[in-house]
Amino acid sequence: MNTTDTALLQAVADERTRQTIDLMRRNTIDHLLLGNADNIRFVSNYRSLIIHETADHMYCVMNEAGEADIFGPHLREPYENKDPTTPAVREVHPLSGWVPGMSEPRTTIKTLARAIGGARHVGYDAIHPELLHGLQSELPTVRFTYIGASLMDVRRVKLPGEITLMEAACAQNQDALGAAFASAAPGVSDRELLAAALEQQQRLEAELITHSTCNVRAQFGNWFPNGSTMVQGQAIFIDQVYYGPGGYASDLTRTKFVGEPPAQVLDAYRRLVEVAHTVADAAKPGTTTVFLDELLNESLRRNGLAPSPYGLGHGIGLRVMEPPSLVQRDLVDDAVALRHGEVIALEPETSVDTDSGTVVLKVEDCFRVEDSGLRPLGPQASVEDVILDP
C-alpha cells in the first residue's frame, strides 16, 4: 500500500464523519462538543494531538450537518480552513494560549458558549465538570447529554480503509522494532536500544510516538528506560506504540534474548508464545472478553507459568487503548462480546524466577476480529529468531 494515498485517507475521514452524523441523528443531537483528541480526529479528521495533552487542550464543535469548528491555542486570530484533508472543518479559532482550557475557565466557557449558541441538544465527551456547569449556566435552554461512550462504540468496528492503515502502521512498527533489536548487544543500554527504534520510526511515516518502553532487568511496572545495560543471556522486551498514516496506532511487544538465555527462561518464553496462540485461536465474534482473559490465566497456570499481572489486552484504533477492555470480570461493567470488524491488541505477560532474579516475558500483537477468528495485522510473535547474536 502507498501509505501516502490521499484518496484512501480522505475516504476514511469522510465515512467517519458520516458515521458521526448518523449517531447524532439517532440521539436527536444537533451539536457535538468534543474535547478528546482522538474523538476530534474521528469526527473531523483534524489532527489536534500534537503533544501528549489528549484532553482539555483543544475542542471541536460540530453541527448536525457535519460542519465543524476547531478551538485551540496555536493561533492568535481565527481563520477559514482551506486544508483539503479536513473538509468537515469550517474555521479554526483561538482559545486560551498554551494551557489547559480549564486554566482559563471564564474565557473558555464564553468562547464555546458562542460556538454552540442556538443549539437545542448538545452531545459532549471529555468535558471538565466546571466547564460543563458554566456552559449550562450560559445556555440554560440547551440540553447537554454525554455521548462519549456511544461515540467510542461506533468506533469499535473499523472500516476497510482503517484496517489498511492499521496494517501499514503495524508493518512500520515491526521495522522499528527490528532496528532496535539489531543494535542489541552486551553493554548497550536500554536508551540506545530505543533510540535505534525512534530513528527508524522517524525515517518511516510516524505521525506520533506516544511511548516506547524497554524492560532490561526490571520488575513489572518499571519498564521505562533508565540507562540499564544488557548482559549476555539476558531477556529484554520492547513495548512500543507507533501512530502511522492517518493517525492509526500499532501496539507491539517483542521479547528477545542477548545470546543464549538460561534453559528455563527460554522454555518459559516458548510456553508463553503457545499460550498466546491458544488464546488468539479461541477468539471470534461473540466470544466475551472476560472469557478470553480467564482462558489466558488458566492456560498460563496449566503451563506452569505465573499469571499475567494485568488484563489480556484492549481495542486499538485512533486511540492506542479503546474498547473493548479484555480484563477480569470485576473490572468491567459487562462481559462484552467481540464484534466482527473490530481490532484488538493482545498482550499476555508472565515471569519466571531464576537464581539471578525474576525475568519478565511478554508478547503483543494486533488482530482484526473476523467470522473465522482473529486475523493478525502483521507477523505474530513466535519462538523463531528470538536469540540475538551479540
pLDDT digits 0-9 by tens, 170-180: 999 999 999 99
Distance of CA 281 to the CA centre of its chain: 23
Buried residues in 11-35 as b, exposed as e (16+ CB within 10 A): ebbeebbebbbebbeeeebbbbbbb
Q: In whole angstroms, what is the distance from residue 98 CA to residue 104 CA? A: 11
The secondary structure of 324-344 as a DSSP string is EEE--GGGSSS-PBP-TTBEE
Neighbours of 101 (CB within 10 A): 26
Q: In whole angstroms, what is the distance from residue 117 CA to residue 129 CA? A: 19
Q: Given a cut of 90, is residue 216 above it in pLDDT?
A: no
Percent of the chain beyond pLDDT 90? 75
**CA atoms in the 13 A half-sphere facing the CB of 361:** 32
8 Å CB contact between 365 and 165: no
**CA atoms in the 13 A half-sphere facing the CB of 163:** 18
Q: Given a cut of 50, is residue 365 above it in pLDDT?
A: yes
Q: Given a cut of 80, is residue 2 above it in pLDDT?
A: no
Q: Given a cut of 50, is residue 3 above it in pLDDT?
A: no
User: What are the CA-CA distances from residue 224 to residues 6, 189, 212, 362 (Å)?
Assistant: 36, 12, 8, 15
Distance of CA 248 to the CA centre of its chain: 8
Q: Cell numbers at residue 177, please?
A: 522494532
Mean pLDDT throughout 125-145?
Answer: 95
Cβ neighbours of residue 12 closer than 8 Å, sequence gap 6 or more:
159, 161, 162, 165, 246
Mean pLDDT throughout 342-371?
Answer: 93
Q: Given a cut of 60, is residue 265 above it in pLDDT?
A: yes
Q: In whole angstroms, what is the distance from residue 390 CA to residue 31 CA? A: 58
Q: Given a cut of 80, is residue 214 above it in pLDDT?
A: no
Higher pLDDT, 385 or 56: 385
User: What are the CA-CA distances from residue 258 to residues 74, 164, 267, 347, 354 (Å)?
Assistant: 46, 34, 15, 22, 17
The pLDDT tens digits of the residues spanning 140-197 come to: 999 999 999 999 999 999 999 999 999 999 999 999 999 999 999 999 999 999 999 9
Q: In whole angstroms, what is the distance from residue 374 CA to residue 354 CA? A: 34
CA torsion, points 102, 107, 111, 113, in degrees to nearest 10?
80
Question: What is the chain's alpha carbon radius of gyration, rounded to the nearest angstrom?
Answer: 23
Peptide bond connecting 324 to the previous residue in cis, omega within 30 degrees of 0 = yes
pTM to 2 decimal places: 0.93
